[in-house]
Structure 1
Amino acid sequence: MNFSYWELKNWFTAIDFTIVGSGIVGLHCALALREKFPESKILILEKGILPQGASTKNAGFACFGSLSEIIDDLKSHSEEAVFQLIQKRWKGLQLLRKNLGDETIDFKPYGGYELFLKDEESTYTECLQKLSFINDLLKPLLRNDVFAKEVDRFAFQGIQEHVIFNPFEAQIDTGKMMNALLKKAIANNILILNQVEVKSFQEKTNSVEVTLDEFSFPTKKLLFATNGFASELTNNKVKPARAQVLITEPIPNLDIKGTFHLDKGYYYFRNIDNRILLGGGRNLAFEEETTTELGQTELIQNRLERLLKEVILPNTDYKIEHRWSGIMGLGATKNPIVEQLSEHVYCGVRLGGMGVAIGSLIGQELADLVI
């Protein structure tokens, strides 16, 4: 690479910490390291123009799990494990709000709702039967009942009579959040290089040699915050999961406010700037959506459009303005992986589709491993 003396000296010499991934985890990790090591040299490498995973592509849900999702998790996790996972998500949300401020991230405590389609009778019944049990499970954390049965007031169609309301759920502006994090990192003298992909790394006695395209440099510590792109790094303990999303043009007099879940969290929608943002549907094609390729499929987009037309906005004129996708990191368990992989290499990955909630805490925990 045709680097100058100045470029080599300022960006690739005497690096204490190199973080791969400039998303929520990577930036929080860098800020935590800066706090503990004020004189250190911290470099973040990002392979995209913006964070390549889901940090700038998510739906902006400040949530910790819908009722049906929590009930589903209890079928494969112990009560203690589910409680600890929700506790992490809740603590992560509070840390994010504390670090950036509610006004900065456009935090709106509108509450969250879970809807059940007419053909989801068994799931709907199970949720109503277990609602009190889940409230009791979460009461030590939130001090109040989390979930309550309510009559739908939004004129949705094709759903069961009642929805489940969660007053602790909120929404944020993902773009404002990430912009604020990037500004804070730069203000704290953290170097960020975009469109730089790490090809490989080799551990040395007192450092790690990081290889880019036709160039390598040493760093004292190497930390991976690549979530959905961490399959090889974790021996397939993390698998990518693509999430497809669409958004409408502004809709006059839109009365829908809140974050909404359907089908154990596989579908989700919200209001933003007088629009409806709707995403999900990977349960229609799990194998095809286990990919790091960004893009959309006709199968899932058609399903999203049908939900929009028949359930969410049945009596409203609207136009779809834009579509995109993001890459999450999932696994056999929903517990995040925050591990020291070798003497000088660490990772904080597998956020289980809850990056907004848990990302700041995982970044902090990743930094704590080094500290």
Structure 2
Amino acid sequence: MNLSYWEYKTWFHNVDYTIIGSGIVGLSCALSLRKKHPKSKILLLEKGSMPQGASTKNAGFACFGSISEILEDLEHHSEAEVLQLVQERWEGIELLRATLGDKTIDYQRRGGHELFFKKDQKLFQKCLDRVDEVNDLLRPVFGKNAFQVQPNTFGFEKLVDNYITNPFEAQINTGFMMQALLTKVREAGVHILNAMEVTSYEEDASGVTISTKDFEFRSGKMLVATNGFAAEWLREDIVPARAQVLITKPIAGLKIKGTFHLDKGYYYFRNVEDRIMFGGARNLDFKTEETTKFGLTSKIQEKLEEVLRETILPNIPFEIDRRWSGIMGTGSQKRPIVIRLTDRVAFGVRLGGMGIAIGSHVGKELADIV
């Protein structure tokens, strides 16, 4: 396709920065770049009709990692690295709140609760035995104990009698958040173009030639914020991970409030007003879920319904209203990859399922390194 004079001059002439991906990281990066370079021309390209990947597909958890996840991280990372991970998640959420405001994103700090199946009694005991150790480690972040033991007050079944709560964890409205970020970025004079799939790029001494499915154009620098989709361009430890989610129809008299984690965080659920949103179970079939293709599988959806019926909502009738999936970026290490690959190309990817917590922080860091 040949660009018209108007198209070229309006969107693709003298572009200083091109950001690939309009999720939390890409939008946060655009805002940070605008503050640093108020007169620069910034272009943001999104291959979907809406932000595609995980930013509009997630369950809206503003979380830092359940205690079993923290203990598992300590098996593969040093204490200093784990402390830094949690610190960055905390700072990311605080940056998101400062950027958009709590009311705008419907920020509700109701606490995050880790539940344990009765078959996982040993895991629960391990977490219980090390609560004080983890609290001491994370006190520099929260200033108080990060975890405390609570009784099972919501009537869940087939679980250990107590759960371990992080009182600092919260929930947000993902749709409100993304709508507010998009509005703020557009008001900052950043051009956002959808249905723009970038197929390749080539760098030279004066800039980057970016090729889309229909045409190519020049940009001073290119910043990639495509999370789990970045593996095709960046030879790093990036594994796409599909997350399947469902939400019920309204349930009269629903008393469940807060965010909840099960099975080392592989299951997660929360209330959305008087509904239950429930996702996860990719640990039933890791290989199949290591994909960049959206979709649902009966194996995982049936398991989600089983746990919903037998554990979360026992003896409470419910109907499923909607099902969907999103694509995360994971790897053997939990820390995001923020790397200046060359003088003109940088990546901020692999958010490890913590996009809401660290997306704003990664976006700012990506802007800083270029």
Query: Normalising by structure 2, what TM-score?
Result: 0.99
**Is the 2:200–2:212 contact (alpha carbons within 8 Å) kept by the matching residues of 1?**
yes
The amino acid across from 1:218 in the alignment is R
Partner of 1:359: 359
Partner of 1:49: 49
**Is the 2:252–2:274 contact (alpha carbons within 8 Å) kept by the matching residues of 1?**
yes
**Is the 2:149–2:163 contact (alpha carbons within 8 Å) kept by the matching residues of 1?**
yes
**Is the 1:107–1:172 contact (alpha carbons within 8 Å) kept by the matching residues of 2?**
yes
- 2:231 is the counterpart of 1:231: yes
Partner of 2:271: 271
Find the aligned partners of 2:51 and 2:14 in 1 and give their Cα distance: 25
Partner of 2:255: 255
Find the aligned partners of 2:30 and 2:302 in 1 and give their Cα distance: 40
- 2:143 is the counterpart of 1:129: no
Q: Deviations over 1:99-147 (max 9, x none)?
A: 0000000000111111001111111110111111101111111110111
Query: Normalising by structure 1, what TM-score?
Result: 0.99
Partner of 2:281: 281
Instruction: Report the 3-state secondary structure (helix = DSSP H, G, I; strand = E; otherwise coil) of the residue aligned with 1:128.
Output: helix
How far the C-alpha of 1:236 sits from its partner, in A, is 4.2
The amino acid across from 2:171 in the alignment is Q
How far the C-alpha of 1:150 sits from its partner, in A, is 1.0
Q: Which runs of 5+ in 1 are unaligned?
A: none
Find the aligned partners of 1:316 and 1:113 in 2 and give their Cα distance: 21
Partner of 2:350: 350
Q: Which runs of 5+ in 2 are unaligned?
A: none
Instruction: Report the 3-state secondary structure (helix = DSSP H, G, I; strand = E; otherwise coil) of the residue aligned with 1:104.
Output: helix
Find the aligned partners of 1:298 and 1:214 in 2 and give their Cα distance: 37
Instruction: Report the 3-state secondary structure (helix = DSSP H, G, I; strand = E; otherwise coil) of the residue aligned with 1:360.
Output: helix
The amino acid across from 1:191 in the alignment is H
The amino acid across from 1:351 in the alignment is L
Find the aligned partners of 1:277 and 1:123 in 2 and give their Cα distance: 25
Find the aligned partners of 2:342 and 2:369 in 1 and give their Cα distance: 12
**Is the 2:2–2:215 contact (alpha carbons within 8 Å) kept by the matching residues of 1?**
no
How far the C-alpha of 1:214 sits from its partner, in A, is 3.5
How far the C-alpha of 1:198 sits from its partner, in A, is 0.3
Find the aligned partners of 2:315 and 2:56 in 1 and give their Cα distance: 31
Q: Deviations over 1:178-228 (max 9, x none)?
A: 000000001001000001100100001110000012411000000000001
**What RMSD, in angstroms, separates the aligned Cα atoms of the two structures?**
0.8
How far the C-alpha of 1:273 sits from its partner, in A, is 2.5
Find the aligned partners of 2:170 and 2:141 in 1 and give their Cα distance: 17
Partner of 1:315: 315
Q: Deviations over 1:16-54 (max 9, x none)?
A: 000000000000000000001111100000001111110
Find the aligned partners of 2:235 and 2:4 in 1 and give their Cα distance: 38
Partner of 2:21: 21
The amino acid across from 1:342 in the alignment is T
Find the aligned partners of 2:42 and 2:236 in 1 and give their Cα distance: 28
How far the C-alpha of 1:98 sits from its partner, in A, is 0.3
Partner of 2:107: 107
The amino acid across from 2:152 in the alignment is D
The amino acid across from 1:243 in the alignment is A
Find the aligned partners of 2:220 and 2:61 in 1 and give their Cα distance: 36
Partner of 1:140: 140
Find the aligned partners of 1:133 and 1:297 in 2 and give their Cα distance: 39
Instruction: Report the 3-state secondary structure (helix = DSSP H, G, I; strand = E; otherwise coil) of the residue aligned with 1:199.
Output: strand
Instruction: Report the 3-state secondary structure (helix = DSSP H, G, I; strand = E; otherwise coil) of the residue aligned with 2:198.
Output: coil
Partner of 1:177: 177
Partner of 1:301: 301
Partner of 2:75: 75
Moved more, 229-238 or 5-14: 229-238
**How many residue pairs were aligned?**
370
Moved more, 49-58 or 18-27: 49-58
**Is the 1:58–1:326 contact (alpha carbons within 8 Å) kept by the matching residues of 2?**
yes
How far the C-alpha of 1:253 sits from its partner, in A, is 1.1
The amino acid across from 2:98 in the alignment is K
How far the C-alpha of 1:2 sits from its partner, in A, is 4.5
- 2:7 is the counterpart of 1:11: no
Instruction: Report the 3-state secondary structure (helix = DSSP H, G, I; strand = E; otherwise coil) of the residue aligned with 2:105.
Output: coil
Find the aligned partners of 1:146 and 1:203 in 2 and give their Cα distance: 46
Instruction: Report the 3-state secondary structure (helix = DSSP H, G, I; strand = E; otherwise coil) of the residue aligned with 1:309.
Output: helix
Give percent identity, aligned residues only.
56
Find the aligned partners of 2:316 and 2:326 in 1 and give their Cα distance: 28
Q: Deviations over 1:317-350 (max 9, x none)?
A: 1100100000000011011111111121000001
**Is the 2:44–2:192 contact (alpha carbons within 8 Å) kept by the matching residues of 1?**
yes
Find the aligned partners of 1:51 and 1:313 in 2 and give their Cα distance: 32
The amino acid across from 1:328 in the alignment is M
Find the aligned partners of 1:193 and 1:296 in 2 and give their Cα distance: 28
Instruction: Report the 3-state secondary structure (helix = DSSP H, G, I; strand = E; otherwise coil) of the residue aligned with 2:232.
Output: coil
**Is the 1:21–1:226 contact (alpha carbons within 8 Å) kept by the matching residues of 2?**
yes
Partner of 1:188: 188
4+ residue runs over 2 A deviation: none
Find the aligned partners of 2:233 and 2:332 in 1 and give their Cα distance: 16
How far the C-alpha of 1:233 sits from its partner, in A, is 2.2
Find the aligned partners of 2:213 and 2:136 in 1 and give their Cα distance: 54
The amino acid across from 1:125 in the alignment is Q
The amino acid across from 2:87 in the alignment is Q
Partner of 1:334: 334
Partner of 1:199: 199
**Is the 1:230–1:239 contact (alpha carbons within 8 Å) kept by the matching residues of 2?**
no
Instruction: Report the 3-state secondary structure (helix = DSSP H, G, I; strand = E; otherwise coil) of the residue aligned with 2:176.
Output: helix
Partner of 1:30: 30
